[in-house]
Amino acid sequence: MKALITLGLLLVLSGCSTPPLRGTHDLGLVVERATGSVVVIETSQQSRLARIEGLGDLSHAHITYSRDGRYGYVFGRDGGLSKVDLLGQVLVRRIIQSGNAIGGAISQDGRLIVVQNYEPGGIRVFDADTLTLLSEVPSTYAPGKRAKVVGLADLPNQQFVYSLFEAGEIWLTDLSNPLRPITRRFPAGRQPYDAMVTPDGRYYIAGLFGEDALALLDLWNPEQGVRKILAGYGRGESALPVYKMPHLRGWALAGQNVFLPAIGRHEVLVASTLDWQEKARIPVLGQAVFVMAQPDGRQVWVNFAFPDNDKVQVIDVATSSVIRTLEVGKAVLHMEFTPRGEAVWISARDDNRVNVYDTRCFKHLSSLSIHQPSGVFFTHRSSRIGF
């Protein structure tokens, strides 16, 4: 009788749909922007594992990860903050924390989730485990006026840096005590619209939509204030209409050079991180949206705004020249490299697929059927500053 009971239990357990035991470093999430869902994928076999629904408006979504890569925090355009379990393949919790949000980040110790908001403007700080609200920093820059917050990035020592669009400022907030945030303000320039932080967490660079320049803050020496770099890079030329704002979180740092999209121009700018002076301009076929370096820094991949959003170009860093143009699919929205860079995943929204390419020979490796995919986010982001 005992043997029969044991056999019965084994049969029941074997019939359960519990995901197999596995690590998390080759996992990721792909956003289905039209359905409010994310697809759990793994990069080793280039396959999809599960679909998690009920995440709200993901028309402009961002995802960051817990330190162990198990949980993804999904920031929705409707102000939703969702915590999903990649191993359990379920939605753990979802809250609506604002009227309009544009992304978020996780603290160095993994205990805090910070959301940047358009409406109401400011940042909000949550417990990463429970999503309980801990504190808020309103982006009030004048009586009765709050600015949209953009370009949020996590920094060492429980700090976060972000930009205020209407205020033309960069704010640096210390959350060592998350219940009592301490914030410093720095004039930045007209209309900072997105930003990035260098991989070592030292420099924060904001793009200025209202000026022909970029704003740089040295986070090791913030008391020196913001200085303008690449000022006048379009002086004397007529800018083209801007069809889609560049996403500067995807700027490329390769060796001692940074590769930047030029707003409203068919160019990628190259600047030296030694003196932040322009070194070169690389002609490309359209207005760059993401300019992203492979993990080894050998090549930079560029996607484009309409009408060139069906193609991706590859720049050779050594020669600062385009070496390959790929026709990837309709409405390319995002790219993500595998942890060691042997492959790149590229979402093609209007083809309802994500295409995987070999970065060495540019061979198309596989396609995953995903409904209107946009952002592709792998869990190795959990170990990187500014992601």
CA 213/CA 194 separation, integer angstroms: 13
Closest listed residue to residue 384, CA positions, set 295, 267, 284:
295
What three-state secondary structure class fits 351?
A: helix
Taking alpha carbons only, the member of 131, 67, 55, 127 closest to residue 91 is: 55
Q: What's the pLDDT score for residue 17?
A: 60
The candidate with the shortest Cα–Cα distance to 176, out of 162, 160, 161, 157, is 157
Q: Tell me the CA distances in angstroms from 290 to 156, 160, 261, 305, one per residue in order.
A: 25, 23, 7, 9
Question: Contact 376/28 with Cβ under 8 angstroms?
Answer: yes
Q: What is the DSSP letter of 21?
A: P
Q: What is the pTM of this model?
A: 0.92
Which class for 265: exposed (0-12), middle (13-18), buried (19 or more C-beta within 10 A)? buried
* pLDDT of res. 248: 65
By the 8 A CB rule, do 264 and 240 touch?
Answer: yes
For the sheet with 252-254, list strands across it. Answer: 252-254, 257-261, 267-272, 278-283
Please report, for residues 29, 221, 273, the alpha-carbon distance to residue 218 in angstroms, rounded to integers and kept in the order given.
Answer: 32, 5, 12
182-187 and 192-197 beta bridge pairing: unpaired
d(CA 159, CA 350): 38
Q: If phi over 0 gives left and psi between -120 and 50 gives alpha, with beta otherwise, what is residue 220?
A: alpha
Q: Which is nearest to 335 in space by CA: 343, 321, 347? A: 347
**Tokens describing residue 368:** 């995953």
Burial of 281 (0-12, 13-18, 19+ CB in 10 A): middle
Alpha helices in 210-285 (DSSP H): none
CB 91 within 8 A of CB 131: no
The DSSP letter of residue 148 is: P
pLDDT of residue 52: 98
Please answer whether residues 30 and 376 qualify as being in contact, where contact means their C-beta atoms are separated by less than 8 angstroms: yes
Residue (of 263, 259, 211) closest to 239 by Cα position:
263
How many C-beta neighbours within 10 Å does residue 349 have?
A: 22
- pLDDT at residue 262 in the model: 82
Rounded mean pLDDT for each run of 10 residues along the chain, 387 residues in total: 48 56 93 97 97 96 96 97 98 96 95 97 98 98 96 96 97 98 97 90 91 92 95 61 60 83 87 90 94 93 95 96 97 96 97 98 98 97 89
Write the Ramachandran bin of 340: left for phi over 0, alpha for psi from -120 to 50, otherwise beta. Answer: alpha
Compute the distance between CA of residue 56 and CA of residue 144 in angstroms, rounded to an integer.
30
pLDDT on residue 247:
64
Please give the structure tokens belonging to residue 98: 């604002």
Token pair for residue 321?
A: 């020249």
The secondary structure of residue 246, as a DSSP letter, is -
The pLDDT of residue 5 is 47
